[in-house]
Amino acid sequence: MPAVGSTALMTSPMPPSFHPGPHGLRLATRFVPGRGPALVFLPGYMSDMAGGKAQAVLEWAAGQGRACLLLDYSGCGLSEGDFADGTLSRWRDEVVALVAAHGLDRVVLVGSSMGGWLMLLVAQALGERAHGLVGLAAAPDFTEWGFTADQKTALGAGETVREDNPYGPEPTPTHPGFWADGQAQLKLNEVVPFDGPVRLIHGQADPDVPWDISLRLAAALRSADVQVHLIKDGDHRLSRPQDIAVLLATLSSLLTE
C-alpha cells in the first residue's frame, strides 16, 4: 500500500546485513540511514522483520528520509541461534547492542505484540536515548495472563508448552526459559519508568491479546503523554491496509510533535 506522506517506496527487498550480537551470534538487520529519532521495529513472538508492518514502517521511513532499523532476534528469521534459547532479557540485550552498532542516539521503539513488552525493557536499558514508544497490540506480561494454571505448572517444572497456532501449520512452543524470564519481567502491576510520548494501537477484535492490556499499560506508564487508539474491528495482526495507515499516521504525528 502507498505509505502515508512518503515520496518514495522501495521496489525490492533490501538485502540484510549481519552484526555480531552480545552472545556471539550473528544478528540480521535492515537499516535505512536518515535523520533521527530513528525508528526501531521490534517484532512479535516467533516473528521477524519480513512482516508486513515492519516493511511498511521501513518503506515509510525511507520516503521520509528518516533512519529506520529492522532486526531479527537470535533464533528468529535470518539471525543465528536456537529459538528455544530466546528470552526477553536476551533479546533486549541484542536490540540494545544493535542500536549501538548503528550509532543511533535517539530512537522511537515500535513494538508489535511481544515486541510491545520488549520495548519497555529496551527503553529502560536505553534511558534518554529512547524518545518514544509505539505499541501494536502490545502484550506485556503475557507469561502471566496468557497461560492456564496447568500450563504454568508445566512450564515451572521445565516442560515446553505447545499450543495451536492460528497463523501457521506448526504449534506455537513456549519454552520454560522464556516463561521464567518473562515472569521476572512483569510490568503491569508496577510503575513503568518512561516519561516520553507513548502511542498504543489495539484491535478490539483481537483474539490473542485482550485490548484492555493496552489500557492497563497506559495506566502503568509514568508518562503523562500516553494515547490509546482502539480499532473496533481490528484483529491481532493489525496488518490490513487501514490498520497500517493508522500506524503510519501515528508515527507521522508523533515525530512532528
Residues labelled catalytic: 113, 206, 236
Q: Please list, residue by residue across 15-35, b when 16 or more beta carbons sit within 10 angstroms of its beta carbon and e when fewer do.
A: ebeebebeeebebbbbbbeee
Residue-wise DSSP of 133-196? EEEES--TTHHHHTS-HHHHHHHHTTPPEEE--TTSSSPEEE-HHHHHHHHTT--TTS-B---S
CA distance 124 to 128: 9
Q: Alpha carbon of 215 to those of 22, 107, 133, 201, 208: distances in Å?
A: 34, 24, 15, 10, 15
Which strand ranges, in their side-by-side order, compose the sheet holding 198-203?
17-20, 26-32, 66-71, 35-42, 107-112, 130-136, 198-203, 226-231
Q: How many helices (H) and strands (E) does the chain have?
A: 8, 10
